[in-house]
């Protein structure tokens, strides 16, 4: 019985991994039970038994996206001093994983949350996409607030405004990296971020 359960869990993990690969390469909208079945060489019913509805599959993939993204971008920065050093580390890791799976998460979130087609994503899925993105922004805002409290940034800094500007840079970077494929995108975003932070840095610091 335990062996059967273990095999079922392994199959579910393979389904989620295949779903991530499809979403990254062709978009979340192209993730279907049938596409998973074809990719893994199993029956569509075999996929359905383990994940249920398509929406459940999409949410499982999003959960895994967020787990990998957090492990790659956010968690390693906890060893950095709170405040500006940690904020800089988060942005650095986000940018320098820009051509890997983890950074594509954000670009797919952007594409799918901007989709105005009401049939493209059920309300529950769109809410899940938006909530996931807001978690990342709140993490950045909390880190920016710590930077103000520690005197790294000017006392009149609005963390929400700063994160809006940082997030705008990151979104532009991902567009240039994955759509325009500008070879200078890393230099451009690094320069833009340094210039942005120079306007917020505390004179005392």
Are 178 and 107 a contacting pair, CB within 8 Å?
Answer: yes
pLDDT of residue 109: 54
- Greater model confidence, 81 or 105: 81
Give the CATH class of 59-200. Answer: mainly alpha
pLDDT value for 33: 93
The DSSP line for 41-108 is: T--HHHHHHHH-SHHHHHHHHHHHHHHHHIIIIIGGGGGSPTTHHHHHHHHHHHHHTTTSHHHHHHHH
* pLDDT, tens digit (0-9, with 9 covering 90-100), for 102-115: 445 554 555 555 55
- Asked if residues 17 and 29 have their Cβ atoms less than 8 Å apart, the reply is no
Residue scoring higher pLDDT (193 or 107): 193
Q: What pLDDT sits at residue 100?
A: 54
Task: Please tell me the distance from the alpha carbon of residue 74 to that of residue 78, in angstroms, as a whole number.
Answer: 7
Beta bridge partners of 201: 153
Span 22-28, average pLDDT: 76
Extents of the domains making up the chain: 1-52, 59-200
d(CA 27, CA 132): 17
Tell me the C-alpha to C-alpha distance, in Å, between residue 62 and each of 47, 108, 121, 133: 17, 10, 13, 11
Q: What is the mean pLDDT of the chain?
A: 84
Q: Is 153 exposed, middle or buried (0-12, 13-18, 19+ CB in 10 A)?
A: buried
> Measured between alpha carbons, how far is 20 from 31 in angstroms, rounded to an integer?
9
CATH of domain 1-52: 1.10.10.60
Please state the pTM of the whole predicted model.
Answer: 0.81
Q: Which residues contact 183 (CB under 8 A, 6 or more apart)?
A: none
| Residue range 132-181, pLDDT digits in tens | 888 889 999 999 999 999 999 999 999 999 999 998 998 888 878 777 88
Cβ(153)–Cβ(200) below 8 Å: yes
Three-state secondary-structure class, residue 153: strand
Q: In angstroms, rounded to a whole number, what is the distance separating the alpha carbons of residues 181 and 203?
A: 37
């Amino acid at each position: 019985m335990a062996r059967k359960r273990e095999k079922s869990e392994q199959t579910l993990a393979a389904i989620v991994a295949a779903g991530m690969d499809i979403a990254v390469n062709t978009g979340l909208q192209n993730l279907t039970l049938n596409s998973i079945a074809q990719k893994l060489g199993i029956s569509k019913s075999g996929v359905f038994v383990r994940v249920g509805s398509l929406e459940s599959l999409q949410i499982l993939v999003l959960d895994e996206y967020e787990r990998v993204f957090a492990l790659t971008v956010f968690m390693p920065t906890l060893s950095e001093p709170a405040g500006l050093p940690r904020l800089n580390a988060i942005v650095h890791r986000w940018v320098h994983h820009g051509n890997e799976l983890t950074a594509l998460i954000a670009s797919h979130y952007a594409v799918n949350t901007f989709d105005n087609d009401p049939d493209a994503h059920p309300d529950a899925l769109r809410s899940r996409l938006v909530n996931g993105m807001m978690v990342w922004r709140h993490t950045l805002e909390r880190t920016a607030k710590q930077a103000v409290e520690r005197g790294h940034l000017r006392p009149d800094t609005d963390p929400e405004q700063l994160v809006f500007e940082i997030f705008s840079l990151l979104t532009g970077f991902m567009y240039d990296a994955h759509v325009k494929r500008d070879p200078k995108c890393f230099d451009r975003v690094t320069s833009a971020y340094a210039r942005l932070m120079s306007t917020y840095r505390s004179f005392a610091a």
